[in-house]
Amino acid sequence: PVTSPADGQRAYDLDRAHVFHSWSAQGSLNPFVMAGGLGSTIWDFDGNSYLDFSSQLVNTNIGHQHPAVVDAIKAQADILTTVAPAHANLARGEAASRILALAGPRFGKVFFTNGGADANENAIRLARLTTGRDKVLSTYRSYHGNTGSAIVATGDWRRIPNEYSRGHVHFFGPFAYRSEFWSDSPEQECERALIHLERVIQSEGPASIAALLLETIPGTAGVLVPPRGYLQGVRALADKYGIVLIFDEVMCGFGRTGNWFAFQGFAGDGEVTPDLITFAKGVNSGYVPTGGVIISESIANAFEDQVFAGGLTYSGHPLAMASIVGALDAMEAEGIVDNAASIGRDHLAPGLAALAAKHPLIGEVRGVGVFWALDLVSDPDTREPLSGAVVAQLKKELLARGLMPFVADNRIHVVPPCVVTAEEVAAALEMYDAAFTAVEADL
């Protein structure tokens, strides 16, 4: 593609003059100017290309500019570009039926939203309306989105300045590497985290709790893969106390873990299916903003006569729906979810373990599929998180070598698109290795 440095400068200047950015003090920003992308690669206006091991905001599961998705959007644009939510629309029905087929027989309907936050907002609404209760339990290590209830359900720092609504309670999920429960094995971590959760439920009063909301694998908080049995234990507690179980699969769903849904990867140990699944990002790789709630047959049935008090002008927007159909059909036809699984098992798992063995700054590697985190430490014994300044230096070294990383707190998340190839992973591993070597030499 033809790009000119002058266009890049203009993009940068317009952004700095006129664009207000998320989650930032505006004065200190220095945004990367992206000109284009294809597959796992992106480029700027100066002729530099980068392996996109961030998948932007962990959403381009099918990679950049997949022709099947771009063509589906173009074809829909020629047919109908907008439709009222009350009307039936073919693209919306096709998208819903494909999503339900992937989620499994427990689920009956899909409610479409504009993104992930309002997916959680409406899942919470559904849980409150069906139970007649108001409290929502979620974990401290979580992100659920930037709307009224979703941001208060979030556990991380972004909740605190926005905490105006009542009815939210937080608890600690399992995280063996930085255990809140003094555990020294995954089994102990699992058992103690479940005892803690049941005590929170009992102390809050089970009859006041509408929903248990958790990311199946907490993503932004650090790719915290739960120990075996934890999700089954949560499912059992939800059943015992009549609480609606919501799995937030906005980041971990649609292929990222090497399964269509992350919870399906835990099914070998017993019943783990939630009552509601929230999704966005990977369902269409973000080519058009969309998200939604996958609703169990029994909750959907509860609204056959009862009114659902919720709605959005763009619920099931046709361009978004066409892009979902295009993306899911291409992912199926091209074996893209299986690719994520085998890349994780055969390339990222051993490659990142070797990286950690070589570099003492990497305290722990955890993940599955194309969903990994490197937990960085200044001291492997105390597990003291690595300072922000050194993490920033690592980011700089990676960009200089042609890799766009995903950085969160003291971690680098290794989250390429599900279409990433073994050769691209090998190239990326060399870049991570060289960047760590360079930074360690300066310490």
Footprint on this chain of ligand PLP (rule: CB under 6 A): 57, 115-117, 120, 143-145, 215, 219-220, 248, 250-251, 280, 291
Residues with Cβ within 8 Å of 11's Cβ and at least 6 positions away in sequence, in order, are: 33, 35, 45
Q: Which is nearer to ligand PLP, 215 or 275 (CB)?
A: 215
Backbone angles phi, psi at 106, to 5 degrees: -65, -20
Closest distance of CB 147 from ligand PLP, Å:
7
Q: Which of 242, 255, 237 is nearest to 195 (CA)?
A: 237
Closest distance of CB 56 from ligand PLP, Å:
10
Closest distance of CB 284 from ligand PLP, Å:
12
Residues with Cβ within 8 Å of 404's Cβ and at least 6 positions away in sequence, in order, are: 32, 42, 50, 51, 52, 53, 54, 398
For residues 142 and 153, the answer to whether their CB atoms sit within 8 Å is yes
Query: In whole angstroms, what is the distance from residue 405 CA to residue 425 CA?
Result: 13
Q: Which is nearer to ligand PLP, 280 or 294 (CB)?
A: 280
Q: Which is nearer to ligand PLP, 198 or 249 (CB)?
A: 249
Closest distance of CB 111 from ligand PLP, Å:
15
Nearest residue to the partner ligand PLP, using Cβ: 116
Q: Which is nearer to ligand PLP, 191 or 248 (CB)?
A: 248
Query: In whole angstroms, what is the distance from residue 349 CA to residue 355 CA?
Result: 10
Q: Which is nearer to ligand PLP, 89 or 122 (CB)?
A: 122
Q: Which is nearer to ligand PLP, 41 or 138 (CB)?
A: 138
Please classify residue 349 by burial: count the beta carbons closer than 10 Å to its beta carbon, then call 0-12 exposed, 13-18 middle and 19+ buried. middle
Torsion of CA 251, 255, 260, 266, to 10 degrees: -70
Residues with Cβ within 8 Å of 268's Cβ and at least 6 positions away in sequence, in order, are: none
Closest distance of CB 318 from ligand PLP, Å:
19
Closest distance of CB 402 from ligand PLP, Å:
25
